[in-house]
């Protein structure tokens, strides 16, 4: 059995990249690994050549621990602690939600589900593969769910669908939103707030994971943190020990509900997202969660994509790499003559990073929102066509635009297959979107009344 994102011989190459990005000197560790026969090049799938490298597992573990124990040069522009972050960010003005909050929440949940489903079958397929699939099925540029109808055998062989997702996420077989971690985590955040209120701790998040979340349905940084919890490491060591994915996208996908339940309070939403994110992420991984929560908060009150993006940017440390990624995405979305030109610019900057890293995906979210300008289909299709973490960026973009336009504005092409239903691997099984909206609205009302 090969367990991805967990075995030391798989993690080490990713840790070499992450440690170097933090300013650590990794040359000696890399040389020892290569001399022993290890591969210093990270894989896209999270799994290396298992049988060949398995004898090197003890060495890989020792080298991971050595890198963990090596201090990174301090970077005051990218702190992990909330007090230091809050001092950098300053104040962000709050806005009162209007009477259409329920409409916006319904749009956000539905848009998140639709955008996620759009990206599911092509998750892990690079940008050029997505374009090849679309051209060969007569659907370039993307403007609806993917289909296998008419897909030539040679294209299908070269760019195979995501194995887990194709049976439930192609146009011809969607029957409600299928289970996905991008949908499990918003439901889990909802339950967290219902049980503990806005005063929850990171330890409360950890306990809820252990109680409710199947270990096999978490990936990258979440899988590393889950393992660390089971080995009894405390927060925030759970985010740092043998976790080369600590600046990837996982915390960002967990944050929407903190924004939806704090409409018009982006800094408050960002603080809640930070509390959740520090279980598994550091630096830009934390900031991605804060940004996503602020996007959700602003989308509950704003009247334009520009306003949402402007507000959410205020909760991101201005000297951080995430701030640079968001600004690049926004500029490309505004200025590029064509979709392809804009994506070329993003890939020229971030094409060397892993497809799950937070930086290319945050840039993609900002790009897709700017380019789509509140048009649901244009926005989620731009996000997915970029070819990084397709279901995650589709979900985040879909939630923002869905909140702005409501379910009717999303349109039947996208909403009819979802049928108001979301499957989940959490206890309780399939959820009705109407029920999720009602629960979210109650929490938002409690936040507005100070409870």
Instruction: Note the pLDDT of residue 46.
Output: 73
pLDDT band at 450 (very low <50, low <70, confident <90, very high): low
Instruction: Note the pLDDT of residue 14.
Output: 97
**What mean pLDDT, rounded, does the chain reach?**
96
Q: Is the pLDDT of residue 426 over 80?
A: yes
Instruction: Quote the radius of gyration of the chain (alpha carbons, Å).
Output: 21
Q: Find residue 421's DSSP bridge partners.
A: 432
**Tokens describing residue 110:** 């539905």
Closest CA to 388 of 203, 125, 121: 125
d(CA 312, CA 295): 5
Instruction: Note the pLDDT of residue 1.
Output: 66
pLDDT band at 138 (very low <50, low <70, confident <90, very high): very high
Residue 369, H or E segment: helix 358-372
d(CA 413, CA 117): 13
Instruction: Note the pLDDT of residue 44.
Output: 84
Q: Is the pLDDT of residue 322 over 90?
A: yes
| Sign of the Cα pseudo-torsion (107, 112, 113, 114, in order) | positive
pLDDT digits (tens, 9 = 90+) for 365-398: 999 999 999 999 999 999 999 999 999 999 999 9
**Tokens 């979900």 correspond to what residue?**
395
pLDDT digits (tens, 9 = 90+) for 56-115: 999 999 999 999 999 999 999 899 999 999 999 999 999 999 999 999 999 999 999 999
| Sign of the Cα pseudo-torsion (358, 359, 361, 367, in order) | positive
Between these two residues, 446 and 250, which has the higher pLDDT value? Answer: 250
Closest CA to 436 of 175, 179, 107, 211: 107
Q: Which domains does the chain have, with CATH numbers?
A: 8-69 (no CATH), 82-119+177-200+244-448 (1.10.4080.10)
Instruction: Note the pLDDT of residue 446.
Output: 84
């Amino acid at each position: 059995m090969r367990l991805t994102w967990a075995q030391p011989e798989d993690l080490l190459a990713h840790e070499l990249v992450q440690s170097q990005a933090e300013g650590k000197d990794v040359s000696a560790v890399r040389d020892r690994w290569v001399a022993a026969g290890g591969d210093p090049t990270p894989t896209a799938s999270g799994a290396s050549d298992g049988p060949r490298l398995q004898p090197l597992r003890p060495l890989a573990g020792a080298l991971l621990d050595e890198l963990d124990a090596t201090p990174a040069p301090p970077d005051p522009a990218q702190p992990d602690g909330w007090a230091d972050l809050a001092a950098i960010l300053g104040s962000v003005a709050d806005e009162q939600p209007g009477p259409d909050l329920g409409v916006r929440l319904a749009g956000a949940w539905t848009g998140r589900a639709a955008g996620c489903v759009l990206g599911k079958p092509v998750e892990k397929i690079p940008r050029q593969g997505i374009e090849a699939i679309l051209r060969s099925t007569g659907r370039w540029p993307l403007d609806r769910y993917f289909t296998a109808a008419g897909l030539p055998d040679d294209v299908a062989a070269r760019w195979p669908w995501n194995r887990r997702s194709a049976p439930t996420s192609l146009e011809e077989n969607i029957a409600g939103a299928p289970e996905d971690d991008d949908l499990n985590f918003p439901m889990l955040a909802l339950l967290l707030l219902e049980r503990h209120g806005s005063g929850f701790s990171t330890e409360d998040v950890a306990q809820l994971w252990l109680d409710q979340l199947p270990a096999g349905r978490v990936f990258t940084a979440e899988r590393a943190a889950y393992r660390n919890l089971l080995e009894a490491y405390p927060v925030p060591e759970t985010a740092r020990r043998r976790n080369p994915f600590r600046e990837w996208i996982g915390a960002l996908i967990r944050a929407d509900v903190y924004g939806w339940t704090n409409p018009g309070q982006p800094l408050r939403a960002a603080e809640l997202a930070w509390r959740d994110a520090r279980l598994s992420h550091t630096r830009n991984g934390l900031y991605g969660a804060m940004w996503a929560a602020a996007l959700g908060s602003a989308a509950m009150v704003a009247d334009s994509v520009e306003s949402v993006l402007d507000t959410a940017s205020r909760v991101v440390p201005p000297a951080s790499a995430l701030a640079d990624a968001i600004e690049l995405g926004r500029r490309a979305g505004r200025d590029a003559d064509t979709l392809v030109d804009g994506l070329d610019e993003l890939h020229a900057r971030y094409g060397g990073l892993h497809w799950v890293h937070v930086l290319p995906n945050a840039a993609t979210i900002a790009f897709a929102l700017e380019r789509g300008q509140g048009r649901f289909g244009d926005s989620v299709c731009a996000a997915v066509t970029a070819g990084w973490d397709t279901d995650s960026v589709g979900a985040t973009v879909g939630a923002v635009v869905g909140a702005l336009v409501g379910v009717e504005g999303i349109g039947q092409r996208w909403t009819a297959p979802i049928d108001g239903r979301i499957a989940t691997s959490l206890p309780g099984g399939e959820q009705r979107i109407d029920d999720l909206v009602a629960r979210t609205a109650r929490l938002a009302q409690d936040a507005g009344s100070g409870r």
